[in-house]
Every structure is written in structure tokens, then in C-alpha cells.
Chain A
């Protein structure tokens, strides 16, 4: 079975500092995509970043970047210069083998940014 594990239920960071959210997964596939979604208190699910496993270069979107370690099956999200608006739940998600867009989500991490 394909699994996605987010072992840290909560994290806190000071505004303007950097924080890393961890995610590990299990798969037997060689090429696949990994996603991080953000859910602010408004409850919307917003795509933060996407990584293709075939690419060695880590994905970056402005202050958000990925540390992708394929051999270790690790997919961490780094948020630089944290802002109050980054306060949200963050979910790592991954489509199981042959499952197309069916996403398996981790349980999520609640991130609080302190002023």
C-alpha cells in the first residue's frame, strides 16, 4: 500500500525565520509526482508546490522550496522568511501507483507563525 507520513502534528516558527516541514512516503514506482497543499483557516486547499521524482532539481516557488531525497523517499517543504499568512495546515500528497490523480494525503502539519 502506498503511504504518506507526516510525523510532526504541529510546528511553530517566528516571523521571518525559516521552517522545514517533513514528509516521507512509500512507493515502488520510479517516476511520480509529489505535492504540498496548504489549508489556511479559511479552509481552502491551495497547491503550494509540485515535484517530479524524475527531476533531480528541487522545485522552488518563491519562498517555498522542496528538499527531495528520492532514495530516502523524503519530501520536505522549506518555508523561508515565514510570514503570518503562512499560518495553516500543510499536507503532503502523493498519487499511488497507477492511480492517476487519486491523491493519498498525509495527516497534515499545523504550522503557526508567531509575530
Chain B
């Protein structure tokens, strides 16, 4: 059982480049989300989805796009990378969107923008 799979694990980009961080889960979870982790800041929510075809913004959505065409996949797109987006990105999923649901996290993607 793979759980939540994120690719790539590491990536270096130049300012202005675009890229997509991939996230897939095989647990048939309805709820998926993206967080970024910066030193001294904890994890902050970027975007989330309560089901296929439904997405919404979190705390820090600027500079990021998401889509949810299938239950399994929730990619995060950086359209024009900026140094401020250097961070570790985590994808998470839960069975439903209920507040009692523990989140299952991927292993993270370390992204550096030069």
C-alpha cells in the first residue's frame, strides 16, 4: 500500500520557470491538500480539495494552481517560480473532509528556486 506518493523528491528551478509537483494517493481518499513548510513557520495550507472537480484556496495560495480531475491525483503547479517559493512541499490526504480525520502525508518535495 503506497499511501501518498509525491514526485519529485528534490527539484531546483530558475526564477520564472514553471513546474508541476505531483501527488497521488491510492487510499480512495476524498480530501487532499498541499502544504508548504518553511523554517520557523510550521506548515501552511496552500490549496485543498474535498473531491474530484472541487478545489479551494488555503492560507497561502498566491503563485500556485491546482486541479483535481481524479480522486487519486492532486497536482500543484507553479506557473512562474519565484525565490520566495523555495520550500518543502507536502501533499496530504484524508478519507473525508471531517475535522476528526487524521491527515496522511507524503514524503515531501524539497524545492529550491534560484
Residues of A within 8 A of B (CB): 4, 9, 32-33, 35, 42-47, 50, 52, 91, 93, 95, 99-108
Report A38 CB to chain B, min CB distance, Å: 11
Name B43-97 residues within 8 Å CB distance of A: 43-45, 48, 50, 58, 88, 90, 92, 94, 96-97
Cα–Cα, bound, A42→B101 (Å): 24
- Within the complex, the shortest CB–CB distance from A74 to chain B, in Å, comes to 18
- Greatest chain A CB density within 10 A among B41, B43, B94, B98 is at B43
Inside 8 A of A4's CB, which chain B residues have their CB?
A: 42
Given contacts A100-B31, A105-B42, A106-B42, contact A47 B102 (CB under 8 A): yes
Residues of A within 8 A of B107 (CB): 42-44
Contacts of A33 in B (CB 8 A): 99-100
Instruction: Check if B42 sits within 8 Å of A91, measured CB to CB.
Output: yes
Q: What is the minimal beta-carbon distance from A30 to any residue of chain B, in angstroms?
A: 12
| Structural contact, A100 and B98, CB atoms closer than 8 A | yes
A101/B33 contact (C-beta < 8 A), A43-B107, A44-B107, A47-B103 known: yes
Would B88 and A101 count as touching, CB distance under 8 A?
no
Distance, CA A18 to CA B74, complexed state (A): 40
Determine which of A43, A101, A106 lies in contact with B31 in the assembled complex, contact meaning CB atoms within 8 Å: A101
A33 and B103 CA atoms in complex are apart in Å by: 12
Q: Which 5 A-B pairs have the closest CB atoms?
A: A45-B105, A105-B42, A100-B97, A95-B99, A105-B43
**A115 to B99 Cα, complex, angstroms:** 38
Q: In chain B, what residue has the closest Cβ to A107? A: B42
Q: Please state if A107 and B102 are interface contacts (CB–CB under 8 Å).
A: no
Contacts of B100 in A (CB 8 A): 33, 50, 52
Mark B102-114 against chain A: 1 for CB-CB distance below 8 A, else 0.
1101011000000
Q: Cβ of A107 and Cβ of B40 under 8 Å apart?
A: yes
Interface contact A50-B42, CB-CB below 8 Å? no
Q: A100-B31, A101-B33, A103-B43 are in contact. Are A35 and B102 (CB under 8 A)?
A: yes
Residue numbers in B under 8 Å from A44 (CB-CB):
105, 107-108
- Tell whether, in the assembled complex, residue B103 and residue A101 are in contact, meaning their CB atoms are under 8 Å apart: yes
